[in-house]
Structure 1
Amino acid sequence: MRLVDSGYSMYIKRNQDGAIIAISQIAAEDVSEFVNDDSSELHLYLQSLKPSQMATLEQSDQAMARVLEDVINLLVDQGTIRFTDLPEAAQTKLLSRRELRGQRQGMNLLDDGDDLKI
């Protein structure tokens, strides 16, 4: 996820320990170090600015998206709905996620929780 549209320049200011303490889209005397807008360090800094409730809500949203995806797959598998009944945009997103998950399972780096007994 990109936090800023590509094409924007991001400049940062660091404290004595080297941690980011300020960002700007405009270079200034004390905010002059350029970083790419997709920098993981920049993402971590921006995440740290979010209230903890917002971060928890975002994590919950991600989990609910996975639950919804699983429910849709179950309904399709049971014949309750047809995949083609879904809007084209939804079909595209679901197919893309299925492909990405297949690639991830091929790497076998992380468990996606599919084997949980609920």
Structure 2
Amino acid sequence: MYVNRNDNGHITLVSREATPDCREFLSADSPELLAFLSEGEVSRGQAYFQASDLAFVRILEDVIELLVDKKVISFTELPEAARQRMMERQALRRRPSGLSLVGADDEEGGAI
């Protein structure tokens, strides 16, 4: 994501692509960007926590896939809700245009 900042260094505008107004790149999981999208400075601590949660969820997802691939556990042993969520997330990641708000694939066009 590309951002514009005011004179105090606070984000004022966000775009998915570089524009004359938005030249500085921030990763989509940047706590500062999440705070801006979550209504500003008041949410900054919450944004850091949310960014950490998002990263941790991805790690857990990878661990579960690894355990299934190595046949340590069977996918069908997971609770139905967990299986459904895993399948939904896998489908979203495979989409060419993706809904990813986190990760390096966020440099596609469009403004927020």
TM range, smaller chain: 0.5 to 0.7
Unaligned runs of 5+ in 2: 1-11, 13-34, 106-112
Q: 1:78 to 1:65 in 2, by over 3 A?
A: same
Alignment match, 1:111? 104
1:86 partnered with 2:78: yes
Alignment match, 2:29? none
Cα distance in 2 for residues equivalent to 1:45 and 1:58: 12
- Code of the aligned partner of 1:100: L
Which structure would you say has the larger Rg? 1
Alignment RMSD: 2.8
Matches within 5 A, 1:46-85: 46-85=38-77
Identity %: 38
Residue 107 of structure 1 and its aligned partner are, at CA, apart by 3.5
Tell me which of 82, 88, 94 is aligned to 1:96: 88
Cα distance in 1 for residues equivalent to 2:93 and 2:72: 24
Residue 111 of structure 1 and its aligned partner are, at CA, apart by 3.1
Q: Which has the higher contact order (CA 8 A, sep 6+)?
A: 2
Show CA shifts across 1:7-37 (max 9, x none): xxxxxxxxxxxx9xxxxxxxxxxxxxxxxxx
Aligned residues: 69
Cα distance in 2 for residues equivalent to 1:76 and 1:45: 35
Show CA shifts across 1:30-86 (max 9, x none): xxxxxxxxxxxxx95743153422110110000001000000000000000000000
Cα distance in 1 for residues equivalent to 2:42 and 2:78: 34
